[in-house]
Amino acid sequence: MSGSDKADRRERILEAAVQQGLLDSEAAVLAGFIDLDGVNETVTSLRDAFPDSLRVRHAFAAKANCLVPVLEELRHSGMGCEAASAGELAQALEAGFAPEQIVFDSPAKTRAELVQALSLGIAVNADSFQELSRLDEILAARGSGSRIGLRINPQVGAGSITAMSTATATSKFGVPLEDGDNRQRLIQAYRDRPWLTWVHTHVGSQGCPLELIAQGIAKAVAFAEEVNDHLGRRQVTGIDIGGGLPVNFDSDASTPGFDTYVARLREHAPALFSGEYEIVTEFGRSVLAKNGFTAAYVEYTKTVGGRPIAITHAGAQVATRTVFAPDAWPLRVEAHDPRGRAKSSRPVRQDIAGPCCFAGDLLARDRMLPLLDAGDIVVLPDTGAYYFSTPFHYNSLPEPAVHGARIDDDGRVAFRLLRPAQAVHPVPAPRARPDRASTPGRPERTTTRRKQVQSS
Ligand SMILES: *Cc1c(COP(=O)(O)O)cnc(C)c1O
Please count the other Cβ atoms lying within 10 Å of the Cβ belonging to residue 87: 12
pLDDT at 448 over 80: no
With a 6 A CB cut-off, is 153 part of the ligand 1 pocket? Answer: no
Q: What is the pLDDT of residue 430?
A: 75
Q: What is the pLDDT of residue 454?
A: 39
**Phi/psi-derived region of residue 196, left when phi > 0, alpha when psi is between -120 and 50, beta in every other case:** beta
3-state percent helix, strand, coil for the chain, nearest multiple of 5:
35, 25, 40
Q: Report whether residue 283 contacts ligand 1, using a CB cutoff of 6 Å.
A: yes
Ligand 1 neighbour 63 (Cβ under 6 A): yes
Give domain limits for the chain: 35-287
Average pLDDT over residues 186-212: 96
CB 23 within 8 A of CB 295: yes
Q: Is the pLDDT of residue 278 over 80?
A: yes
Q: What is the pLDDT of residue 445?
A: 45
**Mean pLDDT along residues 388-414:** 97
Across the range 291-314, mean pLDDT stands at 98
* Ligand 1 center–CA 211 separation, angstroms: 17
How does 321-332 read in b/e, with b if 16+ C-beta sit within 10 Å? bbbeebeebebb
Residue 307 has pLDDT above 90, yes or no: yes
Query: Is 70 exceeded by the pLDDT of residue 292?
Result: yes
CATH architecture of 35-287: Alpha-Beta Barrel (3.20)
* Ligand 1 pocket check for 64: Cβ under 6 Å: yes
Instruction: State the distance from the centre of ligand 1 to the C-alpha of 61, rounded, in angstroms.
Output: 6
Please state the pTM of the whole predicted model.
0.92
**Cα separations (Å) of 413 from 29, 404, 408?**
20, 10, 7
- Give yes or no for residue 361 CB within 6 A of ligand 1: no
Q: Is the CB of 286 under 6 A from ligand 1?
A: yes
Q: What is the mean pLDDT of the chain?
A: 94
Percent of the chain with pLDDT over 90: 89
Mutate to test the pocket of ligand 1, among 58, 63, 258 (most ligand atoms within 8 A of CB): 63
Q: How far is the CA of 243 from the centre of ligand 1 (A)?
A: 5
What pLDDT, on a 0 to 100 scale, did the predictor assign at position 219? 98
pLDDT of residue 433: 61
Task: Say what the pLDDT of residue 435 is.
Answer: 57
- Best of 202, 203, 329 for a ligand 1 pocket test (most atoms within 8 Å of beta carbon): 202
Would the CB of 284 count as within 6 Å of ligand 1?
Answer: yes
